[in-house]
Structure 1
Amino acid sequence: MTLTAADGTRIACTDHRPAGPPGAAAFLLLHGLAGHQGEWDALGARLTADGHRVVTYDARGHGAGTRIPPDTSRAAHVRDAVTVIEALDLAPVTLLGQSLGGHTALLLAASQPRLVASLILVEAGPGGPAPELPGRIARWLDSWPTPFASLEEAAGFLGHEAWTGTLEQHEDGWHPAFDRATMISTVAELATHAYWRDWTRITCPTLLVQAEHSTMRADEPATMLTHRPQTRLVRIPGAGHDVHLDQPARLHEAVRTFLLDLDQA
């Protein structure tokens, strides 16, 4: 289905419902920069099998939504998540976001606590400021040897088959489906801002998932726990930044244990 944000941006989303009546909290899954909602297929299938309703969507400027939206700010991304939650009547929802999607989830939990039952951050935190980030993202995008001759070649370079969902086929091969300038502008605020005040405003139960081969700042997880000691931290062995793609079974187990413990508290 497609929803429309207040500024006209199209948001492509998918509502995955369990086979029987929903017996557990709904999830909203938020992907990272230059990604797409299909990245969640493996984890989402496990969550729906547990009885959860699972909603995924393509962030603005990504996937099947508006390619070049008029606004790429952090606030615009938060508003999109609110649009999905309210349009599909998900509240209170469990937010699970990876990387940039996790940052969006963090800001939403801080600003709209009535909408959020619990928060799960995968390789994401308040961070910042990171002045080198836009340049690093630009170099990463420019390193893609596009056009790819095949999806197999693309998967080999990008590291996961799921990443081929960011590509579209032209006459000369496979190209990114997103706009380079939009991706860079999407991280612009992260270059100049930190979000620790937002982190301290969050009141819902929170799980922080860090990869064994994490790209988070070395001191960030410990500092997050210092500011909010009730946060649970789980480290996933054998995973890089894309924990949900590298180790979906282990991520699912961490999420399931977190929710079971909340139910028993």
Structure 2
Amino acid sequence: MRMRRVDVRRDGVTLSCLDGGTGDTVVLLHGLAGSAREMLAPAESLLPNHHVIAVDQRGHGHSTRRPQDLSRQAYVDDVLAVVDHLAAGQPVTLVGQSMGGHTAMLVAARHPGLVRRLVMVEAGVGGDAPEDYPAKLGGWFASWPVPFPDLAAATDFLGSTPIALSWSRDLEERADGLWPRFEPDVMRAAIAAVAEEARWEEWQTIKAPTLLVRGQHGTMKTAEVERMRALRPDVQHVVVPNAGHDVHLEQHGAWTRVLNAFLDR
């Protein structure tokens, strides 16, 4: 079963989505500098039994590249628009990795009637980052020697890690070469909004059954995870062995089994 690309438009922003399958709806949200394409493995594992929507969040992938609003509220409202247009506004399961998990958490907190289940992969409540973190991350993206003349050059620079290969596969071909599907300054502003405040109040208000997934070698701080679990003892917690921050790419087989098991509960 194949997924089709569908555009949802909201307030002058185009949100490009991969959409397919039938049944209860699962919405997949990638992390910073990612795209819906990197979520294809879990999407395809769900398609036989679920309606799946993988979103290119604003500023990413095939969606509007330079949206004016990069606030957390804008990302939340984008999810509402996608669910309204592609899932008839019915309750959905939200699955998000990293920044996408933070977006999913805020949607679940602010719109409890819309979220049937919540899955956060290597995603916490935000805040608690070094003050220069957004600038350093944006600076690293800006250091890419783009355009890359070809895929070999891109792979040579980016490397062969799962996330690097995902970036390489998703490069946009233009007349002068290959370009990433995001702008460094947009990435800096988007992650700054996540880093500026820890959303503990929102986390505590979530009522939807929640799965918190970490990579064995991920980047989440143990103290944050322990506090999240203490505040919500009902949350299911799974650590995927031999995985880092990009669990869905590094151990996609194990990850999809964890996800399917949670959805089948």
With normalisation by structure 2, the TM-score equals 0.90
Aligned to 2:61: 63
1:92 aligns with 2:96: no
Aligned to 1:149: 149
Amino acid at match of 1:251: W
Contact 2:37 2:170 in 1 (8 A): no
Aligned to 2:3: none
Q: Which runs of 5+ in 2 are unaligned?
A: 1-5
Contact 1:155 1:163 in 2 (8 A): no
Aligned to 1:103: 102
Cα 1:153–1:208 shift into 2, 3 Å: farther
- Aligned pairs, how many? 254
Q: Aligned-pair distance for 1:140?
A: 2.6
Q: Mean alpha-carbon deviation: is it higher for 67-76 or for 173-182?
A: 173-182
Amino acid at match of 1:200: Q
CA distance in 1, matches of 2:253, 2:246: 13
Q: Mean alpha-carbon deviation: is it higher for 171-180 or for 109-118?
A: 171-180
1:29 aligns with 2:28: yes
Aligned to 2:126: 127
Q: What is the SS of the residue equivalent to 2:107?
A: helix
Q: Mean alpha-carbon deviation: is it higher for 121-130 or for 141-150?
A: 141-150
Aligned to 2:173: 169
What stretches of structure 1 move > 6 A for 4+ residues in a row? none
Aligned to 1:215: 219
Amino acid at match of 1:151: L
Aligned to 2:114: 115
Q: Aligned-pair distance for 1:154?
A: 2.6
CA distance in 1, matches of 2:167, 2:39: 11
Q: Aligned-pair distance for 1:90?
A: 5.4
Q: Aligned-pair distance for 1:11?
A: 0.6
Contact 1:133 1:190 in 2 (8 A): no
The alignment's C-alpha RMSD in Å is 1.7
Contact 1:36 1:165 in 2 (8 A): no
1:52 aligns with 2:50: yes
Q: Aligned-pair distance for 1:182?
A: 1.1
CA distance in 1, matches of 2:123, 2:136: 17
With normalisation by structure 1, the TM-score equals 0.90
Aligned to 2:242: 238
Amino acid at match of 1:207: L
Amino acid at match of 1:2: D
Aligned to 2:9: 4
Contact 2:217 2:244 in 1 (8 A): yes
Contact 1:129 1:194 in 2 (8 A): yes
| Aligned match for 1:183, one of 178, 183, 187 | 187
Aligned to 1:76: 74
CA distance in 2, matches of 1:257, 1:171: 45
Q: Mean alpha-carbon deviation: is it higher for 143-152 or for 83-92?
A: 143-152
C-alpha distance after superposition, 1:122-181 (max 9, x if no partner): 000103132232123123313434333322443452523322254222444322232221
Q: What is the SS of the residue equivalent to 2:254?
A: helix
CA distance in 1, matches of 2:254, 2:153: 27
CA distance in 2, matches of 1:191, 1:45: 32
Q: Which runs of 5+ in 1 are unaligned?
A: none
Amino acid at match of 1:10: T
Contact 2:27 2:93 in 1 (8 A): yes
C-alpha distance after superposition, 1:164-221 (max 9, x if no partner): 2542224443222322211111122233211111100100000000011111123121
Cα 1:30–1:201 shift into 2, 3 Å: same
CA distance in 2, matches of 1:55, 1:249: 20
Amino acid at match of 1:115: L
